[in-house]
């Protein structure tokens, strides 16, 4: 029996969480779920969007599966997602992007792994209002965090037989901050046989949409990592299928790349694939490889049978798609 925290989130969070839980339960994996709520809805009772009990739960269980929590735009509380990653020192954000069967995309054979630094850069939230018409955000980059994420990217590349790592920066403009990130990657690369390539983020975006097959592992600071992750999600069928994991030294939190999608929340339209793919990686992480493989195969066969949610051009509901996966589980 595994003890795992489930952060249910808001927006489409509860729907896709319920879908994934049902699939994992049917696959026969014994998990004692410690279900935690977070976000705008808990502020009324507990005063904060990320109560201490959520952090304590993840610290106790070491592993969490998390669905998205809405981040208010331009005002309101800081991102719960970002706060969780910082508080638990989940320094690496790992987002493998590859084509799924029968999901129509512009390119075949996309196989890119985005490794995004998760704790600093503009996400440190160091901002100030100088006067009514002027605001500043500090882009904070440290050598220790940059070397640690570079090492993670190279270790991942070695372990997963990847051919090279490309570090993505804007070091020609942000000479000090991105320069430090780049320099750290170069230093770390000296300890590995895998080559390091370098590219500027603007060129990287253009190259990705022109020929994504030229990339392997991408190593990025936090903000570029966020943006390029969504671009890569677009290459493989959109946010509904893009998985992710936040991994630190002590804890790991698995969550889809997408946000809470308030535009479709509560309508039984959400695609649970991104959350399910994240959960499959979680199952592999805890050693439930057989169940992970069976669930993945059921998901792939569902897509091959042309059962798809609206974001992929189909007409299955979230629950209909979930039931179709369950009926293919062996």
**From 126-134, 180-188, 267-275, 280-288, span contacting ligand ATP (CB under 6 A):** 267-275
Classify residue 234 as exposed, middle or buried by CB count within 10 Å of its CB (0-12, 13-18, 19+).
middle
For the CB of residue 234, give the shortest distance to ligand ATP in the complex, in Å. Answer: 10
Q: How far is CA 156 from CA 150, 160, 161, 163, 247, in A?
A: 10, 6, 8, 11, 12
Per-residue x/- marks for ligand ATP, 191-230, CB under 6 A? ----------------------------------------
Subset of 270-299 contacting ligand ATP (CB under 6 A): 270-271, 274
- Gap between the Cα atoms of 76 and 103, Å rounded: 37
Q: How far is the CB of 257 from ligand ATP (least distance, A)?
A: 7
Residue (of 68, 64, 25) closest to 322 by Cα position: 25
Site membership for ligand ATP, residue 253 (CB under 6 A): no
Give residues with Cβ within 8 angstroms of 12, minimum separation 6.
67, 68, 260, 261, 264, 265, 270, 318
Q: Is 136 an interacting residue with respect to ligand ATP (CB under 6 A)?
A: no
Please report how many Cα atoms fall inside a 13 Å half-sphere around the Cα of residue 180, on the Cβ side. Answer: 15
Minimal distance, residue 48 CB to ligand ATP, in Å: 18
- Any contact of residue 239 with ligand ATP (CB under 6 A)? yes
CA 207, CA 149: separation in Å to the nearest integer? Answer: 23
Question: Contacts with ligand ATP: how many residues (CB under 6 A)?
Answer: 14
**Distance in Å, CB of 162 to ligand ATP, minimum:** 26
Q: Which is nearer to ligand ATP, 28 or 313 (CB)?
A: 313
Which residue's Cβ lies closest to ligand ATP? 259
């Amino acid at each position: 029996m595994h003890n795992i925290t489930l952060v249910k989130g808001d927006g489409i969070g509860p729907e896709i969480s319920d879908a994934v839980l049902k699939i994992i339960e049917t696959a026969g994996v014994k998990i004692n779920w410690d279900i935690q709520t977070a976000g705008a809805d808990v502020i009324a009772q507990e005063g904060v969007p990320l109560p201490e009990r959520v952090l304590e739960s993840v610290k106790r269980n070491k592993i969490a599966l998390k669905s998205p929590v809405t981040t208010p735009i331009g005002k309101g509380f800081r991102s719960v997602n970002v706060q969780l990653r910082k508080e638990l020192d989940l320094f690496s954000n790992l987002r493998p992007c590859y084509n799924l069967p029968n999901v129509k995309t512009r390119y075949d054979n996309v196989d890119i792994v985005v490794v995004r630094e998760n704790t600093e850069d503009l996400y440190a939230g160091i901002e100030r209002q100088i006067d009514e018409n002027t605001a500043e955000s500090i882009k904070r980059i440290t050598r220790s965090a940059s070397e640690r994420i570079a090492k993670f990217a190279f270790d991942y590349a070695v372990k997963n037989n990847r051919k090279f790592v490309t570090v993505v920066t804007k070091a020609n403009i942000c000479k000090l901050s991105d320069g430090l990130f780049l320099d750290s990657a170069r230093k770390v690369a000296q300890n590995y046989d895998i080559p390091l390539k370098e590219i500027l983020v603007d060129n990287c975006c253009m190259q990705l949409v022109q020929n994504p097959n030229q990339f392997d592992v991408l190593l990025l600071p936090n903000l570029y990592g966020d943006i390029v992750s969504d671009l890569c999600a677009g290459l493989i069928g959109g946010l509904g299928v893009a998985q992710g994991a936040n991994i630190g030294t002590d804890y790991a939190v698995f969550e889809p790349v997408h946000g809470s999608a308030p535009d479709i929340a509560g309508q039984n339209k959400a695609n649970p694939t991104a959350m399910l793919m994240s959960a499959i990686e979680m199952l592999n992480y805890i050693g439930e490889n057989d169940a992970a493989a069976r669930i993945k195969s059921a998901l792939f066969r569902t897509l091959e049978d042309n059962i798809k949610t609206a974001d992929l051009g189909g007409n299955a509901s979230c629950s209909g798609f979930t039931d179709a996966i369950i009926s293919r589980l062996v």
